[in-house]
Amino acid sequence: MFSIIVAAGWPIWPLLACSVVAVALVIERFASLKTSKVLPPKLLDEAITVSRSAIPGPDVVTKLERNSGLGEVLAAGFRTLNAHPGSSEEDLKMAMESAGRLVAHRLERYLPALATIASAAPLLGLLGTVIGMIEIFGSQSPANGAVGTGNPAQLAHGISIALYNTAFGLMIAIPALIFWRYFRTRVDEYLLNLELSGERFARHLKTLRP
């Protein structure tokens, strides 16, 4: 394997760097986009139940904020109502939407980088192949105008080595594209559920106003 990488020439090294970065991003996104860290299933119902009689104190709100992305959104609603008891439902929604935008930014982090790798890897592979073939045909050209000095077997071997760049580019781009689409869909689903949860919680907080 190492001999193939060496034979493929310098253009393959950027592809290897892309593969390392892509693997790191995929692992990081899997860890960060766990349901327990973004949208715990029972958290909204628990927050509503706890606050039916009174708004929780600052310590409880801080603990809720640190729980998950949804917790940050709900905590923003509690804090707004604590600071301004007469807040309208629209004010509560705006406060939670602001917190939601911060959560959304964090959920979408690194996805553009993964999409860039998925788009750039095939082009880098093609570039490596073109450069390799230029070098191969250059080395096979007749010396001093003599004809027939090229070695067909060597030429075929050189072309196969050059094509490794394209293969490596596709091997990196295809999984990167698949994971990007998976994470993009997952983030969109989280954002939709966060929005719906925020609207439901705002209606609940409206009933707590004095």
Would you place residue 17 in the very low, low, confident or very high pLDDT band (cuts 50, 70, 90)? very high
What is the per-residue pLDDT for 147?
Answer: 42
Rounded distance, CA 188 to CA 208, Å?
Answer: 31
Is 20 or 164 the better-scoring residue by pLDDT? 20
What is the per-residue pLDDT for 139?
Answer: 65
What is the per-residue pLDDT for 144?
Answer: 44
Find the Cα–Cα–Cα–Cα dihedral 74, 80, 81, 87, rounded to 10°: -120
What is the per-residue pLDDT for 148?
Answer: 45
Token pair, residue 114, equals 């993964």
Percent of residues, the chain, with pLDDT higher than 70: 85
Which range, of 5-14, 106-115, 161-170, averages the lowest pLDDT? 5-14
Rounded distance, CA 164 to CA 7, Å?
Answer: 9
Token pair, residue 80, equals 């707004």
136-154: average pLDDT: 58
Is 116 or 134 the better-scoring residue by pLDDT? 116
Q: What Cα–Cα distance (Å) separates residue 147 from each residue in 89, 136, 141, 155, 156?
A: 85, 17, 9, 15, 18
pLDDT tens digit sequence for 85-106: 888 888 899 999 999 999 999 9
Residue type, 14: P
Is 200 or 140 the better-scoring residue by pLDDT? 200
Is 165 or 66 the better-scoring residue by pLDDT? 66
**What pTM does this model have?**
0.84
> What b-and-e string marks burial along 47-76, b requiring 16 or more CB atoms within 10 Å of the CB?
beeebeeebbeeeebeebbebbbbbbbbbb
